[in-house]
Structure 1
Amino acid sequence: MEHAIIIVVILTGLGAVFGLILAYANKKLALEVNPLIHVVEDVLPKGQCGACGFAGCMAYAEAVVTRPEVAPNLCIPGKDPVAKMVAELTGKAAEAVEPRIAQVRCAGSNEKATRGFKYAGVSDCVAANLMFGGDKTCKYGCLGLGTCASNCPFDAISMSEAGLPVIDPEKCTGCGKCETVCPKKVIAMMPLTARVRVNCNSRDKGQVARKACSSACIACTLCVRECPYQAVKVENNLAVVDPSVCVANNCTDAKCLAKCPTKAIRPAVLGIVPGAEDQAAVERACPSCIKTNTAAG
């Protein structure tokens, strides 16, 4: 019993001694934190998305306050209002931030895309991709398991019954988190000024792509020939549209939509399932398509 009491007393004494040492060290070695860091952090949206290139809002706040080379407009979700506030607080100049939104570059819904086998594993796109690239015949298409939705820090993505993500334009900040986690790189950022978008991500040749998905781009180059501004080109068997060219030329008649045989190029309508753009939207984006479709009929 006496030994037990002695042990308790010794341990208590050691604890008290080490406690005093740690308290002294903490006071002596404490680093002063610039209070401006916390002020800057408070104006950030707290999405912790990493779009700024730093590990969270606190890390960016510290960098933009303490490092002269770090720009005040790196918070993509905050857009111009946050950039201006950070610039004012840090005494730096902020260039305008172009608003952007996530784009789903795949219209391969459950009805349009074929599948090579039935996947029955973990409901996660990254996990499914490890199994022979997923169950879709098109190895570039959306796997439809919602990894983008579950990782969106702003709850801006939902999965449709068609098996494709739908981006909520009211909630999407363009942070790029969904783009980062998608194993197929189906999601990309596009400027809000974009007039049209390509609803495909396939790099397969035309016949192979069409067999895998009825809405796939078949690299026919009709869109390239129809565009009067050279805003469209085909790279790696896939149409690519430069939205800045469309805007610079104030294109109000997107002729690239007129003859696309698979409807892979569509008007940039937000908040819908890719490929679900109605004819009215097409006609608004391409008035000449009305005449083209009437002549074809």
Structure 2
Amino acid sequence: MSSIVLITVACLSLIAFLSAVILYFVAQKFKVFEDPRIDEVQAILPAANCGGCGFAGCRNLAEALVKAETFEGLTCPVGGTEIMDQVAKILGKEAPAVEPKVAVLRCNGTPEFRAKTSRYEGASDCRIAHSLYQGETDCSYGCFGLGDCVRACTFGAIYLNTETRLPVISDEKCVSCGACVKACPRKLIELRKKAKKDRKIYVACSNCDKGGPARRACKVACIGCGRCQKVCEFDAIKIENNLAYVDAAKCTFCRKCVAECPTGSILEINFPPRKPKADIKTETVNA
């Protein structure tokens, strides 16, 4: 009996040993070499896995950065220039300048400006609402206020204002990952160049209808009148599809367009109050 047990154990041990040897040689034959620098780069990245870089996660971006000859088209919007400089040192490459950006909502249609003409009773989801109808107002371009962008933001940079029913974006928390841009079914959120003191001038409207219908749907709608374009001395404003657009790269923050806009659709954010114009009294002197 004992000899049978010993033979069985010996056979099993031999099979296990041979299997281990075979597996070892197979693993060596088909193993895939992975550059150890990938782990180093991944350790530096913020591990947000937000997809703002265009990849599924930070690991995928790290692999692309290591394999690429240059960083052209590759960047981490969350980490910014500081992170990319560290990555460049590891890989011995030149780091690109990462232009800081911030998300803005191109809609200012609060209940004060957009009259409610219907009532929505359904899932609290912007995409579902967008697929069903134009919204609770006559504006078929405006924000639903159901919070898809809020849920998409993993950095807590967006919250829904219960009074205005519009999302509010925090300049301090926004990392320009672009998740909110992708989440909005009406493409109302845009990543714009971040200026000093977080100042911004942009058209808070996305209505492409002609002036009359647009104004009837919302009091602060852009009517495509072109007055802002005419007053701009820096060619920073264009009118397309009845809608004005301010180019952040050309805008010098002179604010002439803001003062000229008849509907107030152009917003100026984080600017000091305008100085009141002095009343100039004139007297007529009879010669």
TM range (shorter): 0.7 to 0.9
Q: Secondary structure at the match of 2:39?
A: helix
The match for 1:180 is 182
Give unmatched runs, 5+ long, in structure 2: 1-15, 281-287
The match for 1:158 is 159
How far apart are the structure 1 equivalents of 2:230 and 2:272? 19
Deviation by residue 1:70-115 (Cα, 9 ceiling, x = unmatched): 4485111111101111111111112211111000000011332234
Pairing of 1:245-256 with structure 2 (within 5 A): 245-247=250-252, 251=253, 253-256=254-257
Pairing of 1:214-233 with structure 2 (within 5 A): 214-233=219-238
How far apart are the structure 2 equivalents of 1:74 and 1:211? 43
Match of 2:204 among 184, 195, 199: 199
Report how many residues are paired: 263
The match for 1:237 is 242
How far apart are the structure 1 equivalents of 2:22 and 2:230? 74
How far apart are the structure 1 equivalents of 2:256 and 2:157? 31
The match for 2:260 is 259
Are the equivalent residues in 1 in contact too, given 2:70–2:94 (CA < 8 A)?
A: no
Larger radius of gyration: 2
> 4+ residue runs of structure 1 moved beyond 4 angstroms?
19-28
How far apart are the structure 2 equivalents of 1:219 and 1:55? 39
The code of the aligned residue for 2:202 comes to R
How far apart are the structure 1 equivalents of 2:70 and 2:138? 47
Give unmatched runs, 5+ long, in structure 1: 1-15, 270-280
Are the equivalent residues in 2 in contact too, given 1:63–1:70 (CA < 8 A)?
A: no
Identity of aligned residues (%): 40
How far apart are the structure 1 equivalents of 2:145 and 2:28? 54
How far apart are the structure 2 equivalents of 1:171 and 1:26? 46
How far apart are the structure 2 equivalents of 1:22 and 1:224? 75
Match of 1:208 among 198, 201, 213: 213
The code of the aligned residue for 1:153 comes to T
Q: Secondary structure at the match of 1:171?
A: coil
Superposed CA RMSD in Å reads 2.9
Are the equivalent residues in 2 in contact too, given 1:117–1:136 (CA < 8 A)?
A: yes
The match for 1:291 is 277
Pairing of 1:121-132 with structure 2 (within 5 A): 121-132=122-133
Matched, 1:138 2:139: yes
TM-score calculated relative to the size of structure 1 = 0.79
Are the equivalent residues in 1 in contact too, given 2:125–2:148 (CA < 8 A)?
A: yes
Shift of residue 132, structure 1, vs aligned partner:
1.9
Q: Secondary structure at the match of 2:244?
A: strand
User: Structure 2 vs 1, CA of residues 21 and 50 (structure 1 numbering), >3 Å: closer, same or farther?
Assistant: farther
